[in-house]
Chains A and B, each alone.
Chain A
Amino acid sequence: MSSGTSSSSIYVLPHTVEPNPETGLFNAKLGIWLFLASEVMLFGALFSSYILLRVSSVNWPLGSTILNIPLGTLNTMVLISSSVTMVMAWASLKMKDFGKFKLYLGLTLLCAFIFLIVKYFEYSAKFHHHLFPETSTYMAIYFTLTGLHGIHVIGGIIVNSYLWGPGSKMWLDQPERFTNRIEIAGLYWHFVDLVWIFLFPVLYLL
């Protein structure tokens, strides 16, 4: 009914697939950019809080003395790779190669799972050493920021799994619309990647 594709509907929503000539965007692409703008404000507020808490504290630990830099670096590489495969998945659809699309989006999902598994080992090592959110304000902001980022990774996994699995049926009857869906899922995934690229130096290195 909403998509204008079912037989019972009597109207078609404009610009669900073809871009609006005035903005140069289809609806969902504008929508995802707006959503990402709000996400920037969400993480921006947390990063600002981090700066404020750090400059007003008497002794702030150096991240590298507490966190595992090799594991953090590994996770950075994993996420950057997943962003590359995400673009390749979209490009494959643009070149009408559905098989390659399945492969690359599958790799993206694999990278996302590797990221979470590494994160799980990092978290359990911290708990093992009795480092909890309540231990210090540094640990509090570490767990809050990486936890919120982790929730975003899980959100990405849910969306991408749907698009890799049952959602990919749309390729058969609306290939252009499906390609657009991969594009906006990709924009979100790049954002999640970008947040980590800020988180890693701020928490691990500085």
Chain B
Amino acid sequence: MAHDSNHQDSHHPKHGFWRTYVFNTDHKMIALWYGITALCFLLFGFGLVMLMRWQLAYPEQPLPLIGKWFGPTRMPDGVMLPEFYNQLGAMHGTIMVFMGIVPLAVGAYGNFLIPLMIGAPDMAFPKINLASYWAFFIGGVVMLASFFVPGGAASSGWTSYTPLAVIATTGQTMWIIGMIFLITSSLLGAVNFIATIFQMRAPGLSFMKLPFFIWAQLVTAFLLLLAFPPLEAAGVMQLMDRVAHTSFFMPSGLVVSGEHLKISGGGSVLLWQHLFWFLAHPEVYVLILPAMGIISEIIANNTRKPLWGYKGMVYSIVILGLLSFIVWAHHMFITGMGTTISAFFQATTMIISIPSVVILTALFISLWGGSIRFNIPMLFALAFLPMFGIGGLTGLPLGLSSPDIQLHDTYYVIGHFHYIVAPGTIFALFAGIYYWFPKITGRKMNDLLGHLHFWPSLICMNLVFMPMMIQGLAGVSRRLYDGGASYAHAQGVLHLNVLMSHAAWVMAVFQIPFIINIFWSLYKGQKASDNPWESTTMEWATATPPPHGNFAFDPKVYRGPYEYSVPGATQDYTPQCQEKVI
């Protein structure tokens, strides 16, 4: 990166290429690696779904131009095989969640901003931080390599339900091994984040003066720390089932393709689902909480007033974290686990919606009476609010056990959670890139290209995901490789597949301005000062780009994180580490 050569001269000890870029323990460099790698994985995972959308809109028709490149085991004469479609589906979910959004929202944003926002020179354990990145990288490589083993990548869905996943091809073993690396990476990162936030805050920075983003990262780190190990245990057991032929998840008398499996039996199929969702429900909050943190920072900054109900938001996010551990079985209402258990999990699910609504409402009220600056980060942040709202509200019928009988495993579920993670979390991540780009590079991103990225993306997102709700209500299953073409009840909503696919491809085209913007702005963007957005939090108080060790002075904190438009002050923002109000 161009900026780094300058700051290296003044602050970095002189090292060779490997120590400077690859084995550098500086949290900012690790964050950049996380960010670049995760963005590449996001693009790749998005590419997989582009292929799936062709098959859904035009089943059994050869994919023009590039169809023949995929070979006879995947797409003979350009026509997608059902097996390949299943691989794309499973890997799209896995890549987007575990290799795209989490590493970007936690690995990149958390690593870059936590030490800067709390006034620390680096993370508490810089070497473990580097190990965490490389574990993530290796896990990602294993996942990608699984496409090239016999039988292809994992194809049992991102949930890898047993016994299907146990009898699947080699790709599933690669999936488990890849997941174990990714889990290890998350654990190392989580320990580091929590230790850093507890141990290394600047003098005066009490917990109730922390920016909301830090609170979001702290709760997220606890979720990663405590929810991931049960999936690791489950992964080890599934690996044993696959490699050592045990029967942890294999019921007695299982018949596959007319043949009795030679297994000892006696395993529990539901056990996998319990262990998987014990991770994967907190994981949903791992996806959304950092996004809420990013959005809060941007909204406070661009409304030029304090966040409304900061304390309420903090209490809500902590309660959200705690409750997220006791809602997991709402993914399992129709497994026959019993109405009593369903009643319990439906009650906790309804309760957990309260703190989410508190946070969203507080962010909406924060807009009230502000003189809002409609810059690109703020546009994404403003779009996040209603989009996340739609995602959250459409989740309520899924959380109630009786409507879930109709909606379970339909496109309604896909529409619901994509509203949360795509125009929700991913918009927040885009907002964050536009917002913190000047701190990383010293240059602002281009506004025109930003508009060209934002507006089409917003429209297309809705054109892709809203029709899914309609299809789902009509009862179309989410796992059909022909998009429902061979099902009578799907005929009435089949035409929506074409609309959704075209919207998805148009959306892909309008990500190009974003990619151009990053590279163009890196060299040609408008030069930015140390604090171009006139923000109060501490990452803007240091030089741009921040030097090795982050602060050239000893940061001290005198006030809360959002002291905008303080009455009597001449300047409409008062930074956290500024002693007097001017």
* Residue from B125, B199, B240 with most neighbouring chain A CB atoms (10 Å): B199
Collect the chain B residues with CB atoms within 8 Å of residue A140's CB. 240, 244, 246-248, 264
For residues 16 through 32 of chain A, which have their beta carbon under 8 Å from a beta carbon of chain B?
20, 22-23, 25, 27-28, 30-31
A63 proximal to B (CB < 8 A): no
> Which residue of chain A lies nearest to B224 when distances are taken between CB atoms in the complex?
A38
**Residue pair B198, A37 in contact (C-beta under 8 Å):** no
Collect the chain B residues with CB atoms within 8 Å of residue A20's CB. 198-199
B535 proximal to A (CB < 8 A): no
Q: Report the minimum CB–CB distance from B290 to chain A (whole Å).
A: 19
Stretch in contact with the other chain, from B186-194, B305-313, B497-505, B563-571: B186-194
- Please measure, in the bound complex, the distance between the C-alpha atom of A30 and the C-alpha atom of B194, giving whole angstroms: 9
Q: Report the minimum CB–CB distance from A174 to chain B (whole Å).
A: 16
- Please measure, in the bound complex, the distance between the C-alpha atom of A136 and the C-alpha atom of B265, giving whole angstroms: 8
**Residue pair A15, B199 in contact (C-beta under 8 Å):** yes
**Residue pair A13, B267 in contact (C-beta under 8 Å):** no
Collect the chain A residues with CB atoms within 8 Å of residue B234's CB. 45
A172 proximal to B (CB < 8 A): no
**Residue pair B229, A42 in contact (C-beta under 8 Å):** yes
- Please measure, in the bound complex, the distance between the C-alpha atom of A134 and the C-alpha atom of B248, giving whole angstroms: 10
**Residue pair A144, B236 in contact (C-beta under 8 Å):** yes
- Please measure, in the bound complex, the distance between the C-alpha atom of A125 and the C-alpha atom of B13, giving whole angstroms: 57
**Residue pair A53, B268 in contact (C-beta under 8 Å):** yes
Collect the chain A residues with CB atoms within 8 Å of residue B404's CB. none
Return the contact of B268 from the options A2, A43, A52, A133 (Cβ within 8 A): A52
Q: Report the minimum CB–CB distance from A109 to chain B (whole Å).
A: 24
Q: Mark B356-394, 1 if CB is under 8 A from A, else 0.
A: 000000000000000000000000000000000000000
- Please measure, in the bound complex, the distance between the C-alpha atom of A132 and the C-alpha atom of B246, giving whole angstroms: 9
> Which residue of chain A lies nearest to B252 when distances are taken between CB atoms in the complex?
A58
**Residue pair B199, A45 in contact (C-beta under 8 Å):** no
Q: Report the minimum CB–CB distance from A100 to chain B (whole Å).
A: 30
- Number of B interface residues at 8 Å Cβ cutoff, please give it: 48
Q: Report the minimum CB–CB distance from B6 to chain A (whole Å).
A: 16
For residues 520 through 541 of chain B, which have their beta carbon under 8 Å from a beta carbon of chain A?
none
Q: Mark B414-453, 1 if CB is under 8 A from A, else 0.
A: 0000000000000000000000000000000000000000
Q: Report the minimum CB–CB distance from B565 to chain A (whole Å).
A: 32
For residues 56 through 82 of chain B, which have their beta carbon under 8 Å from a beta carbon of chain A?
none
B412 proximal to A (CB < 8 A): no
- Please measure, in the bound complex, the distance between the C-alpha atom of A58 and the C-alpha atom of B227, giving whole angstroms: 31
B332 proximal to A (CB < 8 A): no
Return the contact of B25 from the options A2, A14, A15, A22 (Cβ within 8 A): A2
B271 proximal to A (CB < 8 A): yes
**Residue pair B199, A23 in contact (C-beta under 8 Å):** yes
For residues 24 through 76 of chain A, which have their beta carbon under 8 Å from a beta carbon of chain B?
25, 27-28, 30-31, 34-35, 37-39, 41-46, 49, 52-53, 56-58
Return the contact of A46 from the options B128, B191, B233, B278 (Cβ within 8 A): B233
* Residue from B126, B128, B229 with most neighbouring chain A CB atoms (10 Å): B229
For residues 179 through 224 of chain B, which have their beta carbon under 8 Å from a beta carbon of chain A?
187, 190-192, 194-195, 198-200
B122 proximal to A (CB < 8 A): yes
Collect the chain A residues with CB atoms within 8 Å of residue B271's CB. 49, 52-53
Q: Given contacts A45-B275, A45-B278, are A137 and B247 in contact (CB under 8 A)? A: yes
A1 proximal to B (CB < 8 A): yes
A198 proximal to B (CB < 8 A): no
- Please measure, in the bound complex, the distance between the C-alpha atom of A49 and the C-alpha atom of B229, giving whole angstroms: 13
**Residue pair A136, B195 in contact (C-beta under 8 Å):** no
**Residue pair A49, B248 in contact (C-beta under 8 Å):** yes
Collect the chain A residues with CB atoms within 8 Å of residue B13's CB. 1, 8-9
Q: Report the minimum CB–CB distance from B117 to chain A (whole Å).
A: 16
**Residue pair B191, A31 in contact (C-beta under 8 Å):** yes
A10 proximal to B (CB < 8 A): yes
**Residue pair B226, A41 in contact (C-beta under 8 Å):** yes
Interface size for chain A: under 10, 10 to 19, 20 to 34, or 35 or more residues? 35 or more
- Please measure, in the bound complex, the distance between the C-alpha atom of A30 and the C-alpha atom of B190, giving whole angstroms: 12
- Please measure, in the bound complex, the distance between the C-alpha atom of A140 and the C-alpha atom of B11, giving whole angstroms: 56
- Please measure, in the bound complex, the distance between the C-alpha atom of A43 and the C-alpha atom of B234, giving whole angstroms: 11
- Please measure, in the bound complex, the distance between the C-alpha atom of A45 and the C-alpha atom of B237, giving whole angstroms: 11
Return the contact of A38 from the options B11, B25, B228 (Cβ within 8 A): B228
A84 proximal to B (CB < 8 A): no
Q: Mark A145-182, 1 if CB is under 8 A from B, else 0.
A: 00010000000000000000000000000000000000
Collect the chain A residues with CB atoms within 8 Å of residue B246's CB. 133-134, 137, 140, 144
Q: Given contacts A37-B225, A45-B275, are A133 and B236 in contact (CB under 8 A)? A: no
**Residue pair B240, A31 in contact (C-beta under 8 Å):** no
- Please measure, in the bound complex, the distance between the C-alpha atom of A32 and the C-alpha atom of B550, giving whole angstroms: 26
**Residue pair B125, A38 in contact (C-beta under 8 Å):** no
**Residue pair A137, B248 in contact (C-beta under 8 Å):** yes
* Residue from B195, B244, B248 with most neighbouring chain A CB atoms (10 Å): B195
- Please measure, in the bound complex, the distance between the C-alpha atom of A14 and the C-alpha atom of B268, giving whole angstroms: 49
- Please measure, in the bound complex, the distance between the C-alpha atom of A10 and the C-alpha atom of B122, giving whole angstroms: 12
Q: Report the minimum CB–CB distance from B4 to chain A (whole Å).
A: 16
Collect the chain B residues with CB atoms within 8 Å of residue A137's CB. 246-248, 264, 266-267
Q: Report the minimum CB–CB distance from A194 to chain B (whole Å).
A: 16
Collect the chain B residues with CB atoms within 8 Å of residue A28's CB. 125
Collect the chain B residues with CB atoms within 8 Å of residue A41's CB. 225-230
**Residue pair B233, A49 in contact (C-beta under 8 Å):** yes
Collect the chain A residues with CB atoms within 8 Å of residue B278's CB. 45
Return the contact of B187 from the options A8, A14, A38 (Cβ within 8 A): A38
Q: Mark B532-572, 1 if CB is under 8 A from A, else 0.
A: 00000000000000001110000000000000000000000
Q: Given contacts A2-B126, A23-B198, A148-B236, are A134 and B225 in contact (CB under 8 A)? A: no
B489 proximal to A (CB < 8 A): no
Q: Given contacts A37-B226, A134-B244, are A53 and B266 in contact (CB under 8 A)? A: yes
Collect the chain B residues with CB atoms within 8 Å of residue A53's CB. 248, 266-268, 271
Collect the chain A residues with CB atoms within 8 Å of residue B124's CB. 13, 15, 27, 31
**Residue pair B230, A45 in contact (C-beta under 8 Å):** yes
What are 15 of the A-B contact pairs (CB < 8 Å)? A10-B548, A14-B200, A15-B199, A30-B194, A31-B192, A34-B194, A39-B229, A49-B275, A52-B271, A134-B244, A134-B264, A140-B247, A141-B248, A144-B248, A148-B236
Given contacts A38-B187, A41-B225, A53-B267, 20 further A-B contacts (CB under 8 A): A1-B13, A2-B126, A8-B13, A11-B121, A14-B120, A23-B199, A25-B199, A30-B194, A31-B125, A31-B128, A38-B226, A38-B229, A41-B229, A42-B233, A46-B233, A49-B233, A49-B275, A134-B247, A136-B266, A137-B248
- 10 smallest A-B Cβ distances: which pairs? A11-B549, A8-B13, A140-B246, A45-B230, A42-B229, A45-B233, A2-B126, A41-B229, A134-B245, A11-B121
